[in-house]
Amino acid sequence: MIITLTTDFGLGAYVASMKGVILEIDPEAKVVDVDHSVAPQDVRQGAYALYSATPWFPFAIHIGVVDPGVGTERRGIVIACEGAMFVGPDNGLLIPAAESFGIKEVHHITNKEYTMRRASYVFHGRDIFAPIAAHLSKGVKLREIGPEVTDYVKLDFGTPVVNEAGIQGEVLTIDRFGNIVTNIPRGIVSERWRFNQDLEVSIGGYDIRLRLLRTYGEASEDALLATMSSSNFLEIAKRNGNAAALVNARPRMPVTVRPVA
C-alpha cells in the first residue's frame, strides 16, 4: 500500500520519525513524500498541495499534517473516498483533495489501540496519524478507528466573482518558481477567453497587460503571461523569472482579470 506524506515540517527528523512509525507497523508500506515545504501553519497551502498531487496516485492513503491546533480539542479524522483515504487533523486541510475524489465517510479517530500509547500533545503526525495510516494499510476497518462524523471542518479555495468588470478572485498560492496561482478555475476562463487573447490583470496595486498563452515558452523573454496551471487554475507567470516578486504577491491577495478593451 502507498502512504503519502504532506506536511509543513521540512525534510528532517520529524518526517523521518513518521516514516519509522509507519514502517514498524507495516514494513511493506511504500512511503512517498509529496511536499514538506508547506509554509508553517498554512493550512490552505497544504490543502492545495494535497489537491494538486493526490489525484495522480493509484489507490493510496494520504497523511496531511499542517496542524496549528495540534494538542487542542480539534479532532483527528480519517476520510474514505472513491479511490483514496486521507488521515490528518480536522481543520479543513484534507477536504479539497478528498472532495475531488468524492467523500464517502469521515470518521473521528478515537480508538487508542491504533495510535501510540502515550501520544505527544505536540506531534500527532508521528503518534496518531502515522500509526493510523499504517494500520489502515494493513487492513484495519474504518469503523474500528472511531465513530462516523458529519460536522467536519470544511475548507475551499473561494469562489471567484464574475461580472461586467471581469473576474475577481485571489491568489491561491505561489510556487517555487514565483508563479502566481489564482483560485480562478479553467472552466470560468475557457467560457470567456481564448488563448492568445490579451488580458489586463490587477494585483497588488499593479495593473498589468499580458497575454493568455498555453505555456511559458510562447511568451517573449522575461515577459509576463497568463496560463493555466497544471492543476487547472489561472496562473500569472514571468518567462524565466519570478512574477510574484515583481508584484509583491502573497496568498489571498485580490486579483481582477478582464479582457483588454
pLDDT tens readout for residues 76-111: 999 999 999 999 999 999 999 999 999 999 999 999
Alpha-carbon gap, residue 151 to 172, rounded angstroms: 25
Write the DSSP assignment of 196-248 as a string of letters.
T-EEEEEETTEEEEEEE-SSGGGSPTT-EEEEE-TTSEEEEEETTB-HHHHHT
> Beta strands of 75-205 (E only): which ranges?
76-81, 84-89, 103-108, 161-163, 166-174, 180-185, 198-203
Residue 164 — very low, low, confident or very high, per pLDDT cuts 50/70/90? confident
Residue 261 — very low, low, confident or very high, per pLDDT cuts 50/70/90? confident
Q: Average pLDDT over the chain, rounded to whole?
A: 96
Alpha-carbon gap, residue 176 to 182, rounded angstroms: 15
Distance set, CA 255 to CA 78, 166, 200, 218 (Å): 34, 10, 10, 23
Share of the chain above pLDDT 70, in %: 100
In this structure, which topology does domain 161-259 adopt according to CATH? Elongation Factor Tu (Ef-tu); domain 3 (2.40.30)
Helix, strand, coil percentages, rounded to 5, for the chain: 25, 35, 40
pTM reported for the whole predicted model: 0.94
Please say whether the structural domain 2-145 has been given the CATH code 3.40.50.410: no
* Mean pLDDT along residues 202-220: 95
Question: What Rg do the C-alpha atoms of the chain give, in angstroms?
Answer: 20
Alpha-carbon gap, residue 26 to 24, rounded angstroms: 6
Question: What is the identity of the amino acid at 179?
Answer: N
* Mean pLDDT along residues 169-190: 96
**Residue position matching grid coordinates 487533523:** 89
Q: Are strands 76-81 and 224-228 parallel, antiparallel or unpaired?
A: unpaired
Q: Where, residue-wise, is CATH 3.40.50.10790 in the chain?
A: 2-145
Q: What confidence score (pLDDT) does residue 204 get?
A: 87
**Hey, what long-range contacts does 114-122 have (CB within 8 A, 24 or more apart)?**
114/140, 114/144, 114/145, 116/21, 121/70, 121/71, 122/70, 122/71
Name beta bridge partners: 201.
208, 257
Q: What confidence score (pLDDT) does residue 117 get?
A: 87
Q: Where, residue-wise, is CATH 2.40.30.90 in the chain?
A: 161-259
pLDDT at residue 149 tops 80: yes
Question: What is the identity of the amino acid at 138?
Answer: K
